[in-house]
Structure 1
């Protein structure tokens, strides 16, 4: 800025007024400053400006993977909200590097970030993220981590799971199996609780419903569907409640390979409403959660916290059941 001021024959404060549009400057002086900026190819130091203004210029985003469309859509929401504020997003994807969340958290800690949006793939909070939370806001997305009082933007997974399970039960299904997510994750716990509530509401014993624990990936849905359905027709479930769409798609894949018709022989539901879920055959009945909105609201909440404002965006967002083609009444004669 001193070089620009010397070239334009004005004071440094005048350059600041022009660049930040923060004070009155005569048109002739403004033009001289802008000409100097072009000639010298001046680019402001955003880190320095951030310290000066006490406002954010760079935030971090930790997301488990981007091959899962849900996480990618959350990341898009984060990027859109950050771009609207001219804020840079430092992206860390543990699965892409093979390094644990803790390694990425340590990397972010050294970047002098103004805040972090964190999507846990393990249900735990790395020590370095906890350290970051002492110096700037850390907002969780799609998870709440017990024992840590961190702000979070998530969906009402319990209600969504309860409603989609109730739809399956209303079709007459009584032999049901659950393909759950990782037991350490809050989302998996909430969805399992919702399924159990629906089963209890139908007069059944939730403890008698088989629970097969997956990892939210498609391959685990395929393997667990094999485990659930590789038994005599009279004994196998007539419906699978899958805790996310990728595992439901894996279950559909298994059924096609095994000659099991969906939904004529087995009904399958998912959770997330990935874009792919309405394109596959049969189209997947699932629970929609607003992934893009969660990412966007997480950044907005982070800025509210940076400005010492009480954010109204934290909490549980609504989910909606998307009724499609993968659910039908159980086969005739099923108990």
Structure 2
């Protein structure tokens, strides 16, 4: 081969002096081939450095060879853990995963959709973010099956793998209330995201069940990033001391970490001066000082399940398209204590 193009099955056949079908029989172990011909084919494969076109092969056998994974970015450990789960499921089937992180690269969703389309993907696992538009998802659905993970998106009848965010938020808010806190505040997620809506609904349900009006609590919308937790905590503490919260309900761990960062910067002690809870249970949550009380989502399991839902759809277009919901658990650690006035 004197040029730089990728060798084809036809090139292997010509080099070995056999038919293309014979090459196919050898590579796929799908038919009888004489020993001398098999040896010539294998020798040609090695000489030409031939690798099969997995996209074409997957079309013939009606299974996946390459899938896409869209996540906002990988700075959030929760997204990285989801990606690990997807990769584990894909590796068990010898499937390649193409990663796109639109918010990390600064590329528009439509640009990433075009990139994914150019890879001739069999399907996509999609995790929405605050800056990702429905139009980019619509473009992705034209590529093939799409499975949502950790989000459900109005207007799209797509299978999804989620956690019971509402129940988790309700349980952790109840835990804070049981410590005697009356002055609570919420740092929620982006208002347009399903997860943020579910968590806010769970907080409000716990507060209402305690006999209080949830509309009386300050609610600030963050963006699930650490900086927004720090900035919004500062905003909540900018008013008179009597109006400041004694507990913060943060809709994810990164924003809770930002709130902890703010407290340290101004000399507030957690949980003596302020209790803080998060959501996700990132690996770092138990290593913080104080260790963060939070809600654990099984991120790797969710990613693994989402990829397998996608494979099921690729193998059977009529497969179940409902949502799978994973349970969550409360991780009670050191960042919550009774408010100063309620301590003995």
TM-score in same-fold range (> 0.5): yes
CA distance in structure 1 between the partners assigned to 2:12 and 2:241 by the alignment: 80
SS at match of 1:326: coil
SS at match of 1:116: strand
| Residue 263, structure 1, aligned to residue 271, structure 2 | yes
Deviations 1:167-216 (A, max 9, x none): 11111111110000110111000000000001011111111111011111
Q: Give the equivalent residue in structure 2 for 1:272.
A: 280
| Residue 321, structure 1, aligned to residue 326, structure 2 | no
Q: Give the equivalent residue in structure 1 for 2:137.
A: 129
Instruction: Tell me how far 1:26 sits from its aligned partner.
Output: 5.3
Query: More deviation in 47-56 or 237-246?
Result: 47-56
Query: More deviation in 263-272 or 133-142?
Result: 133-142
Instruction: Tell me how far 1:28 sits from its aligned partner.
Output: 5.4
Kindly report structure 1 stretches of 4+ aligned residues shifted beyond 6 Å: none
Does the 8 Å contact 1:123/1:184 carry over to 2? Answer: no
Deviations 1:41-92 (A, max 9, x none): 2211122222322322222221111111111111222222222222222221
RMSD: 2.1
Written as runs of structure 1 = structure 2, the 5 A alignment for 1:247-258 is 247-258=255-266
CA distance in structure 1 between the partners assigned to 2:175 and 2:342 by the alignment: 20
Q: Give the equivalent residue in structure 2 for 1:289.
A: 297
Q: Give the equivalent residue in structure 1 for 2:177.
A: 169
Does the 8 Å contact 2:102/2:132 carry over to 1? Answer: no
CA distance in structure 1 between the partners assigned to 2:232 and 2:129 by the alignment: 20
Change (3 A) 1:333 1:38: closer
Instruction: Tell me how far 1:24 sits from its aligned partner.
Output: 4.4
Does the 8 Å contact 2:253/2:285 carry over to 1? Answer: yes
Instruction: Tell me how far 1:27 sits from its aligned partner.
Output: 5.2
Name the count of aligned residue pairs. 334
Does the 8 Å contact 2:71/2:129 carry over to 1? Answer: yes
Instruction: Tell me how far 1:153 sits from its aligned partner.
Output: 1.1
Structure 1 unaligned blocks of 5 or more: none
| Residue 89, structure 1, aligned to residue 97, structure 2 | yes
Q: Give the equivalent residue in structure 1 for 2:3.
A: none
Scaled by the length of structure 1, the TM-score of the pair is: 0.92
